[in-house]
Structure 1
Amino acid sequence: MRSDRGVAYAGRGVAAELTTVHELVRTNNAVLITAIEALLKAAEIPHLVLDQHMSVLEGSLGILPRRILVEETSIEDARRLLEDAGLAHELRPDKPALYAELTDDAVLGGRLRLKQKKRGHRVGHDAILLAAATAARAGDRIIDFGSGVGAAGLALAMRIPDVEVTLLELDPELSSLAIENIERNGLSERARAVTLDVAGPAADYAAAGLTPGSADHVLMNPPFHDPSRQNVSPDPGRRLAHAASESLLVDWIDAASRVLHSAGSLTLIWRADGLGDVLAALGERFGGIAVLPVHGRAGQPAIRILVCAHKSSRAPLMLLPGLVLNGEDGKPTAEAEAVLRGAQALPMSGR
């Protein structure tokens, strides 16, 4: 039986209980099917492989495609799992209706609630780490570049009282959600969202009240995946949020330099293997650079870097001890929990 959003099926022995499922992958590559099944099993995501015996019955081994179906309650997790594994190009197109749905999520241990799209770019650890790494004090003026639904900027506003935050976002839908998130978290008096291209001209910034030298801090989580080296998501929202052009980092840092006053600071998060690109883009305009590596698991190479730089500073670069998100047992470390759930600042923000 087909529903309007997928396939409804009943498992053996539970004929009265129907479950809606969605097609995750369709392929005649048996090795790929086995690999994806292993990923889903490891993540404990329920799934079903259809047509796996059909090609044998028809005498056409390997010609007819097999399909992997996933329950509706797990489809978002399954798609993200395959995207993170570099298999985004194997995913079946999703139903357009799913992209418009919203979720209501709690971050910072429930201190901040965010409405965001169920599909597309979703708030993760990066935004919260970025907020924790941003040095700010009460009364400071802060701009969050590429803010999405406002996670980083609003997390910073929840941690530090009386800061003024402006969220810049190119996507009007995400900008609208950011406005709603500002209101529902009681931050309307000191936060606002502006629909604006970070790499746009100075005149656009001025029209939004963001004149040169008007900000104390800029924080940014730019798209940093290299499309020439990594598979990018077929979802337009995730692709825009994750895939970077060659000039994007330089353009964003140029914009930050323009809006920061002479002693302002810039904080950004980037992929760990791109440290050289970040330092080159900062150039001679920024100094006093602090770099904090972020490790997904104890004993493993860093996956992210948090970088804090000060405009016009001539202080030397400082490499800080890394932050480990998960121990060897796979459980979150106490240090990570203190930041991600407890709203604790990272040490670089006290420089």
Structure 2
Amino acid sequence: MTDPDAPLTRDAVLGGRLILAQPARGHRIGHDAILLSALAGPDDRTIIDFGAGVGGAGLAALIRQPAASAVLVEREPDLAGLAAGNAAANGLEGRCRAVCADVTTLNRAGGERLEPADLVLANPPFNLVSAHRTSPDGARARAHMAEDGLLEAWTVAAARCLKAAGRLGLILRPSEMEMLFRAVSGRFGALEIRPVHPAPDRPAVRILARAIKGRR
């Protein structure tokens, strides 16, 4: 859990069109969330942001797509509260709500029920717990550390939360490509991969992936 008394910063993204309050320490919005938001298109009228944090990807998607609405799913109560506050502060509360829930419980018995969406955006934790030392900041550690099988669990949850032929958008590290192929197998198809390079002559540091539910 984040410290509710920790200082906050207010940071502008998308050229100042979106202002986000976020903890000064711990997990903070980065380029990944903004890159992920660019996967939302004009046909994506309903969006669910998995692991939303303070709402960076989901709210940026709403700025990019004025006809869309979104649900921001975040399991840390303090971050979910900040996501709701950021929606209101940016005039997006009528198109957005924040839900405090574990992604893996969505649309399961006893879990939060969401209406099927056109698009799920997901920025899953990217380091396996077994392979890395964890951050001393609990919320930061949970945001960056993935249990084995978590990517597949999030993909299964996305399939439950999407309409037929709905789209899943992810941002991952290139080293996670094999895990991605396993996770989408049998659930999603028409997989598109877009590498993100920090410079033309440097290797990719992230991949943006899109897949369609039920396709091969």
TM value normalised by structure 1: 0.58
Structure 1 runs of 4+ with >6 Å offset: 96-99
- The corresponding residue for 2:23 is 117
Query: Unpaired segments of 5 or more residues in structure 1?
Result: 1-95, 315-351
Identify if the C-alpha distance between structure 1 residues 136 and 311 changes in structure 2 by more than 3 Å, giving closer, same or farther.
Answer: farther
1:246 to 142, 148, 157: 148
Among all aligned residue pairs of Structure 1 and Structure 2, give the percentage whose two residues are the same amino acid.
47
Q: Is contact 2:4-2:78 (8 Å) kept?
A: no
What residue identity is the alignment partner of 1:285? R
1: CA distance, partners of 2:100 / 2:205: 30
User: What RMSD over aligned residues (CA atoms) do the two structures have, in Å?
Assistant: 1.7
- The corresponding residue for 2:175 is 273
1:200 to 88, 100, 105: 105
- The corresponding residue for 2:37 is 131
Q: How does 1:52-91 map to 2 (within 5 A)?
A: none
Tell me if 1:236 matches 2:141: no
- 1:176 shift after superposition: 0.5
Identify if the C-alpha distance between structure 1 residues 143 and 233 changes in structure 2 by more than 3 Å, giving closer, same or farther.
Answer: same
- 1:98 shift after superposition: 10
2: CA distance, partners of 1:256 / 1:98: 30
2: CA distance, partners of 1:298 / 1:230: 29
Q: Is contact 2:129-2:148 (8 Å) kept?
A: no
Identify if the C-alpha distance between structure 1 residues 133 and 166 changes in structure 2 by more than 3 Å, giving closer, same or farther.
Answer: same
Tell me if 1:170 matches 2:75: yes
- 1:102 shift after superposition: 0.3
Q: Answer with 1 or 2: which has the greater Rg.
A: 1
What residue identity is the alignment partner of 2:71? T
Aligned residues: 213
Q: Is contact 1:179-1:192 (8 Å) kept?
A: yes
Q: Secondary structure at the match of 2:168?
A: strand
Identify if the C-alpha distance between structure 1 residues 186 and 274 changes in structure 2 by more than 3 Å, giving closer, same or farther.
Answer: same
Tell me if 1:152 matches 2:54: no
- 1:205 shift after superposition: 2.3
- 1:299 shift after superposition: 1.7
Q: Is contact 2:7-2:23 (8 Å) kept?
A: yes
What residue identity is the alignment partner of 1:180? G
- The corresponding residue for 1:227 is 129
2:96 to 191, 199, 203: 191
Q: Is contact 2:54-2:82 (8 Å) kept?
A: yes
- 1:259 shift after superposition: 1.1
2: CA distance, partners of 1:178 / 1:255: 21
Q: Is contact 2:171-2:209 (8 Å) kept?
A: yes
Query: Unpaired segments of 5 or more residues in structure 2?
Result: none
TM value normalised by structure 2: 0.93
Cα distance per residue 1:123-174 (max 9 Å; x no partner): 0000000001233436x11100000000000000001112010000000000
Identify if the C-alpha distance between structure 1 residues 118 and 255 changes in structure 2 by more than 3 Å, giving closer, same or farther.
Answer: same
